[in-house]
């Protein structure tokens, strides 16, 4: 198949990077917000991910997965820099008005970064464990363990 035929069959090739932003930014901000706990930090991370993609000047085969992986990696970098003390003090998003969700949100922010990342991808992005493994680079068993331990800890704290 030549390039012209391939571009007719692959919607990612037809989209320009600014189209990727319009199409994926909101979902990526929600993901980053779930991991970082801060809407402002989430927007910064997503912006940085798009800038990073634009600088490569290469068209990724699967832009959505590429961007999602970049966002997760940048969130991990940010969490590593900020340290444990700051993560514990993260704010609850104003869009959550249900007291039960507020409590859950606060407890989610106390989980270790790997558990929080896996849970945000699993429940916030509705990804399979295998997809989470591909995005994070964690072995499949590690993803399953982090999800299980994170849920167990949340259940224990919510009782």
Whether the pLDDT of residue 117 is over 60: the answer is yes
pLDDT at 125: 85
Range of the structural domain that residue 45 is part of: 7-158
Residue 2 covered by a domain? no
pLDDT in tens, 36-83: 888 999 999 999 998 887 787 676 778 788 889 999 999 988 888 776
Domain count, the chain: 1
d(CA 47, CA 26): 11
pLDDT in tens, 7-32: 334 444 455 767 778 888 999 999 99
Residue 82 covered by a domain? yes
pLDDT in tens, 136-157: 999 999 999 999 999 999 888 8
Residue 55 covered by a domain? yes
The CATH number of whichever domain residue 152 belongs to comes to: 1.20.140.160
Closest CA to 74 of 46, 110, 102, 34: 46
28 φ/ψ sector (left φ>0, alpha ψ -120 to 50, else beta): alpha
pLDDT in tens, 82-112: 764 444 454 445 554 555 566 777 888 889 9
- Which of the four pLDDT bands, split at 50, 70 and 90, describes residue 128? very high
pLDDT at 53: 79
The answer to pTM > 0.85 is no
């Amino acid at each position: 198949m030549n390039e012209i035929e391939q571009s007719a069959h692959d919607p990612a090739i037809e989209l320009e990077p600014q189209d990727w932003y319009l199409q994926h930014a909101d979902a990526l901000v929600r993901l980053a917000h779930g991991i970082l706990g801060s809407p402002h930090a989430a927007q910064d991370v997503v912006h940085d991910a798009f800038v990073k993609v634009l600088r490569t000047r290469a068209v990724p085969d699967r832009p959505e997965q590429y961007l999602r992986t970049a966002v997760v990696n940048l969130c991990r970098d940010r969490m590593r820099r900020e340290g444990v003390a700051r993560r514990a003090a993260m704010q609850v998003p104003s869009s959550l008005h249900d007291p039960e969700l507020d409590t859950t949100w606060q407890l989610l922010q106390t989980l270790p970064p790997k558990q929080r990342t896996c849970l945000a991808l699993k429940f916030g992005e509705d990804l399979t464990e295998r997809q989470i493994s591909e995005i994070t680079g964690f072995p499949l068993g590690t993803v399953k363990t982090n999800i299980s331990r994170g849920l167990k800890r949340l259940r224990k704290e919510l009782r």
